[in-house]
């Protein structure tokens, strides 16, 4: 089973590691199951940038970024080379080990999930 370590831009939120993650889940689904706050306004269909995250480790376990996803990442706050949309990050390998950094959600206008 995969492991996803979440770190946070907000210094008040401690690092959280989620183990036994089933392959086939999106990172946004992992956050929901682990009670980690991550905005996702469009309903996980790659139509906004509110679920923007940074993949610090394990990009090889995710599908390649699409042109559509890149277009929406350009609209995110502080996009970087490791930026992805959590709704498009499907964990493809049962042995995946990922590190995901979540931007400060207070800076994002979005629906609380």
- pLDDT band at 113; cut points 50, 70, 90: very low
CATH fold of 2-105: Ubiquitin-like (UB roll) (3.10.20)
- pLDDT band at 110; cut points 50, 70, 90: low
Instruction: For residue range 2-55, list pLDDT tens digits in order.
Output: 999 999 999 999 999 999 999 999 999 999 999 999 998 887 878 889 999 999
Q: Where are the beta strands (DSSP E) in the chain?
A: 2-8, 16-21, 52-57, 83-85, 97-102
Q: What pTM did the predictor assign? A: 0.91
Distance, CA of 72 to chain centre: 14
Give percent of the chain with pLDDT exceeding 70: 96
> How far is the C-alpha of 10 from the C-alpha of 17, rounded, in Å?
16
């Amino acid at each position: 089973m995969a492991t996803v370590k979440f770190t946070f831009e907000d210094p008040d939120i401690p690092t959280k590691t989620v183990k036994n993650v089933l392959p086939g889940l999106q990172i946004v689904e992992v956050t929901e199951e682990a009670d980690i706050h991550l905005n996702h306004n469009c309903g996980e269909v790659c139509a906004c940038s509110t679920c923007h995250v940074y993949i610090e480790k394990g990009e090889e376990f995710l599908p390649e970024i699409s042109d559509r996803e890149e277009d929406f990442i350009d609209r995110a706050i502080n996009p970087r080379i490791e930026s992805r949309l959590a709704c498009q990050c499907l964990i493809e390998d049962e042995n995946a080990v990922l590190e995901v950094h979540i931007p400060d959600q207070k800076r994002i206008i979005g629906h609380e999930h």
